[in-house]
Amino acid sequence: MDNLEQLIGGEGKRVTLEEAQALIKAGGLVYFGNRLCPFAHRSFWLAEETGLTKNWTYVHIDLGKKKPAWYTQINPLGTVPCLFVGGKPVFESLIVAEFINDTQKASFIPADPLAKALVRFIIARFDDTIKGALYATLSNKDSEKAQELANTLNDKLQAFDELYQKSQQGGGPYLLGKEPSLAEIAIFPFLERFETVLQNYRNISLFANGKFPAIAAALTAVRARPAFQKTTAPKDFFIQAYQGYAGGPLTPKPASAAALPKGPLAAGAVVLAAALLVVPLILAGRKH
């Protein structure tokens, strides 16, 4: 089986517009998602943590050029995830995740106002400073810009790691102690993917030589959680799925985010033709 067929997962199914409308009209919970998308992974992971996945119908939405034309009739934004509850929609990845937390009486959003504010602040810093740098580094196909982008990513990750570490409460490994919060739900679906694809396509090892120890430790803890394991995908899946977005390797020399070779990169570096599988969708959904 082609790895991209794993997009559907064992839980999902493709449907027609009429079938989607019938599911929504019938009431209950209908979730529209895609295993590739880190935005969708936020709410999918949280739903698995709370047990909500046992009670919904999961509809797989192909993205990019394969996105069904009818999907905007269901979600005018055309993004995943979205969740229908009793025929009414909930849009945007973090809003869907917050809705799941609240309705399932979970504790990923703390009750204490100060702790809640801290969680939202950390999410905002990640979204404002790290996500764009990750995508810029991966999507760049100009070898002359690779070093500058990698160094920028390194600097931003260093600052974020220091902020995450200084903000930790309860001794870690997570922001609020021994249990993850919405901050981890928001952050680690991205680092899960980009650690793999940046290594494969840009020879950047995000956590090499003990870099970014606080977020590295939290990522290790996240990956040990059964709900995360059930809602993520194998490394080779991400590598294949991101090929059309990344193109191909720019240089054969391994490098950490802070240690790309100085000066012009090898002139013989080849940028593979963009195979446009499904990944260009993510830019379209970056604001949800």
Instruction: Give the number of residues written for the chain.
Output: 288
Q: What is the pLDDT along the chain (288 residues), one digit of tens a residue?
A: 355 555 556 667 899 999 999 999 999 999 999 999 999 999 999 999 999 999 999 999 998 889 999 999 999 999 999 999 999 999 999 999 999 999 999 999 999 999 999 999 999 999 999 999 999 999 999 999 999 999 999 999 999 999 999 999 999 899 999 999 999 999 999 999 999 999 999 999 999 999 999 999 999 999 999 999 999 999 999 999 899 889 878 754 445 554 444 444 333 333 333 333 444 444 444 444
Which secondary structure element, helix H or strand E, spans residue 212, and what is its range?
none
pTM of the model: 0.85
For the record, the structure tokens of 19 come out as: 């079938």
φ and ψ at residue 181, rounded to 5 degrees: -120, -175
Cα Rg of the chain, angstroms: 19
Predicted pLDDT of residue 5: 59
Report d(CA 19, CA 14) in Å as an integer: 9
First to last CA, the chain: 31
Predicted pLDDT of residue 269: 35
Predicted pLDDT of residue 256: 53
Cα–Cα distances in angstroms (integers) from residue 256 to residues 2, 147, 208, in the given order: 31, 10, 6
Predicted pLDDT of residue 52: 97
User: Helix or strand or coil: residue 55?
Assistant: helix
Residues with Cβ within 8 Å of 35's Cβ and at least 6 positions away in sequence, in order, are 6, 7, 8, 9, 12, 41, 44, 60, 231, 233, 237
Residues with Cβ within 8 Å of 151's Cβ and at least 6 positions away in sequence, in order, are 257, 258, 260
Which residue bears the tokens 């290594």?
A: 199
